[in-house]
Amino acid sequence: MLKICALASGSNGNCYYIGNEEEAILIDVGISARQVMMRMKDKGLAPETLRSVFISHEHRDHVRGVRVLCKKLDIPAYYSKKTYESVNRTYQSLAARFFQPGISTREGAFTIYPFLKNHDAREPCSFRVEYKGLSVGVFTDIGEPCGNVTAELSKCHALFLESNYDEEMLWNGTYPAHLKRRVASGIGHLSNKQAYELLNKFANPGLQCIFMSHLSGENNTPGHAFSELEPLKARFDIKLAGRYMPSEVYDLWAV
C-alpha cells in the first residue's frame, strides 16, 4: 500500500508526499520546512520517514523550503543539473544529488522516473514514482502535453494532475494580456479542459484516484474544475489538492 497526499498545491507552494509505513519521499518543497513537518504530523505522516526530496524545476513555489528541510532532516535533494544551476542559492540543498531526465533513480523501495515536459523553466521535469507495481504521477506546471506526459500518465494508478485554470475565467479575468498568454501558452499551465482531455484519452484503466492540482486562485475554482471532470467520475475517484490546506491522505492499493 502507498499513502499519498498533497501537502500544498498551487502558485503559493507545492509539495507532494508519497510513502509507505517505513519510508517516503517528497516531490517539491515550495512551502517552509516548518509547514511541511506540521502538515505531515497533522495528517499522521512521520517526517522522520522521509528519505529524500525531488525537485521539478527552479520556480520559488517548488523550492522555497528545500534547503532548510533537508538540513533539518539530514536528507538529500535531487535536482537535474540544469535546474540546480538555475536555482537561487538560497534554495540549493547542501546535500544535493542529481538525476538525469529519462533515467530512473532508486531511492529506498521507490523507483523515480523523471521526464522532461513543456514549461517556462530551464529543464522542467515531472515524475512518476513506482513502488511494488503501483505508480503515482505528479504532473503539474505543464504547458502543451508532450509524448513524455501522455506515455507516463498512461502508466499511473494515481495522479496529481494540474487543472490550473478555467479558460473563460482566464480570458475574462484581471490578469494583464501578456500573463494570460503566458498561462495559456505551450510552456504555461494545463486548463481544466486540457486535464479532462488528457485523462479521457490516455488514463490507465487501472487509474484509481486523481487529485486535481495546482488550481489558480484567480482563474479557477474547485467548482469549475469538478464540473469539467464530471463525466469521468464514474471511472475515477476525483479529489482536490487545495491551495492552503493539505489534501486528505489517500491509500493506494495494488489491484
CATH number, domain containing residue 159: 3.60.15.10
Looking at the DSSP bridge assignments, the partners of residue 114 are 127
Taking CA atoms, 161 is separated from 15, 92, 96, 184, 247, in Å, by 13, 26, 27, 16, 14
Report the chain's mean pLDDT, rounded to a whole number.
97
pTM for this entry: 0.97
Whether 131 maps to a domain, the answer reads yes
pLDDT digits (tens, 9 = 90+) for 5-51: 999 999 999 999 999 999 999 999 999 999 999 999 999 999 999 99
Under DSSP, the state recorded for 49 is G
pLDDT in tens, 107-149: 999 999 999 999 999 999 999 999 999 999 999 999 999 999 9
Segments forming the whole domain that contains residue 18: 2-250
The pLDDT assigned to 78 comes to 98
- Give the model confidence (pLDDT) of 74-114 as tens digits: 999 999 999 999 998 888 988 999 999 999 999 999 999 99
| pLDDT at residue 254, rounded to an integer | 82
Q: What is the pLDDT of residue 90?
A: 86
As a whole number, mean pLDDT of residues 57-75 equals 97
pLDDT digits (tens, 9 = 90+) for 207-250: 999 999 999 999 999 999 999 999 999 999 999 999 999 999 99
- Asked if the structure places residue 255 within a domain, the reply is no
Domain count, the chain: 1
Which alpha helices (H) appear in 129-250, and where do they start and end? 147-153, 167-171, 177-184, 192-202, 222-229
Instruction: Please tell me the predicted confidence (pLDDT) of residue 89.
Output: 86
Cell representation of residue 164: 490550473
